[in-house]
Structure 1
Amino acid sequence: MSAGTVYGVGLGPGAQDLLSVRADRLVRNARHVAFFRKAGRAGQARQIVNGMLAADAIEFPMEYPVTTEIPLTDPRYNEMLSAFYADCTAHVRGLAENGEDVVVLCEGDPFFYGSFMHLYTRLKPHVPVQVVPAITGMSGAWTATGAPITWGDDILTVLMGTLDEHTLLRGIEQADALVVMKIGRNIEKVRRALQQAGKYEDAYLIEFATMPGETVQKLADAEGKVTPYFSIIVVHGQGRRP
């Protein structure tokens, strides 16, 4: 029996009509569909494809054992996630080795800070794996502001809000154009770093880009606001133009 293929399918920033033709075809015809989610939640990737799955599709939700309950620096964090990804890989690999194709739903692009990468590196030596690229969430966010993110020779810097404040500040100071992801509970740290770098007044906060409930506002106008997981901060470049 020939092995099935595991497809890491990028779903883009959140709107179904921003899926690629290839992603749409794979999702609608999938017999086995896997997706990541937080325990007790529907899962954003799964919600994006509501109404698209075949009636007889077999779903495999992969529930993170930990998200923000313990610090990233706690040794248990990597231990728990490593065991989790190993278990998920074993299930998906077993399906593929039995000749079944599996579609793994991925928010944004599978190779851009996505959980699928942890399956990909474990699966690639054993079964066929294909990745379907997609529009990233940050592209949806800066497009929502109605202004180009980069001009001319601008250097675009992407930072994680989970970084320590000193590293954030250094990255922000060196950036021409800036994207900060994984905001959430890190918002005040990001604010301070932007203020110290002199870029706070130029920063925009975008929530739920391309999804229902999308909002775009200057970060300075969102003082005291609790940001959701799906929020991104951008500072537009002002580089060379004719």
Structure 2
Amino acid sequence: MGRVICAGLGPGDPDLMSVKSDRTIRNAQHVAYFRKKGRPGQARTIVQGMLREDVTEYPMEYPVTTELHFGSDGYKQLMVDFYAEWADKLEALTEQHDVVVLCEGDPFFYGSFMHLHTRLQGRAEVEVLPAIPGMVGCWNSLDMPFTWGDDVLSVLMGTLPQQDLIDHMKRSDALVIMKTGRNLPRVRAALAATGRLDDAWLVEKGTMPQQRVAKLADVPEGDCPYFAIVLVHGQGRRPEAEE
């Protein structure tokens, strides 16, 4: 009997992957990964050059290619069917061998693998290898401390209704806003409404060769990169400088 091993890949730079994930991926004979139809997939791109020559690959292609509102019944049903199908396939594969599933960032931090993990309980042996979350790589690319003293950090999804974004932004000091892409205009408007737009940064493909860092206020309105995070630093209590 094999196992499903989900290897967290970290923020994008292969050098920031854990030693255990690196070793597991290089030794894997069967590798699965999420991707959008017609694209290689970010996870697969990260491990380029790491896989064995005799590896068998299982691209798990999402049934939709855009982020719809989380309350959309059509979107939810498509995704439920997709995860159910792949849970069945992975369970069948583990009857003969291990399968390594690649996951950007940390698998248990908004990772797509969580939906498979839930469905595989009691059906297959599952191991998850933790990793540095993508947001950590992004805020380190800004070379500034992100939270100070008693700052409250909120991680928000750009898919939230604009008023929800505004309410959370008002209550928090430091902000991480994920799932931007086509939702970026709503995020920008919410930051402007709370007086925080001028403090916001956009980090696209953090820690990767194509990394881009820019003040969000300077990014053109129509520029909505999918693989990007918006960051607002905390400004909390700081220790006095030593004399």
Same fold judged by TM-score > 0.5? yes
Q: Which residue of 1 aligns with 2:20?
A: 22
Query: How many angstroms apart in 2 are the aligned matches of 1:40 and 1:225?
Result: 23
- Deviation per residue, 1:41-62 (Å, 9 max, x gap): 1010000000000000100000
Q: CA deviation at 1:124?
A: 2.1
Q: Which residue of 2 aligns with 1:11?
A: 9
SS at match of 1:147: coil
1:1-242 maps to which residues of 2 (within 5 A)? 3-68=1-66, 71-98=69-96, 100-242=97-239
Query: How many angstroms apart in 2 are the aligned matches of 1:51 and 1:154?
Result: 41
- Amino acid in the other structure paired with 2:73: P
- Amino acid in the other structure paired with 2:18: S
Query: How many angstroms apart in 1 are the aligned matches of 2:68 and 2:171?
Result: 31
Query: How many angstroms apart in 1 are the aligned matches of 2:224 and 2:130?
Result: 27
Return the TM-score normalized by structure 1.
Answer: 0.96
Gaps of 5+ in 1: none
- Amino acid in the other structure paired with 1:51: G
- Amino acid in the other structure paired with 1:149: F
Q: CA deviation at 1:71?
A: 4.7
Q: Is the alpha carbon distance of 1:207 and 1:70 closer, same or farther for their aligned partners in structure 2, counting shifts above 3 Å? A: closer
CA RMSD of aligned residues (A): 1.2
Gaps of 5+ in 2: none
Q: CA deviation at 1:64?
A: 0.6
SS at match of 1:97: coil
Q: CA deviation at 1:126?
A: 1.4
Q: CA deviation at 1:209?
A: 0.2
- Deviation per residue, 1:184-219 (Å, 9 max, x gap): 111111111001111111111111100111111111
- Amino acid in the other structure paired with 1:168: L
Q: Which stretch shifts more, 78-87 or 50-59?
A: 78-87
Q: Is the alpha carbon distance of 1:61 and 1:24 closer, same or farther for their aligned partners in structure 2, counting shifts above 3 Å? A: same
- Amino acid in the other structure paired with 2:167: R
The number of residues matched between the two structures is 239
- Amino acid in the other structure paired with 2:81: A
Q: CA deviation at 1:73?
A: 3.0
Q: CA deviation at 1:225?
A: 4.4
Instruction: Report percent identity of matched pairs.
Output: 56
Counterpart contact for 2:202–2:216, Cα < 8 Å: yes
Q: Which stretch shifts more, 217-226 or 130-139?
A: 217-226
Return the TM-score normalized by structure 2.
Answer: 0.95
- Deviation per residue, 1:59-85 (Å, 9 max, x gap): 000001113276543322111111111
- Amino acid in the other structure paired with 2:174: A
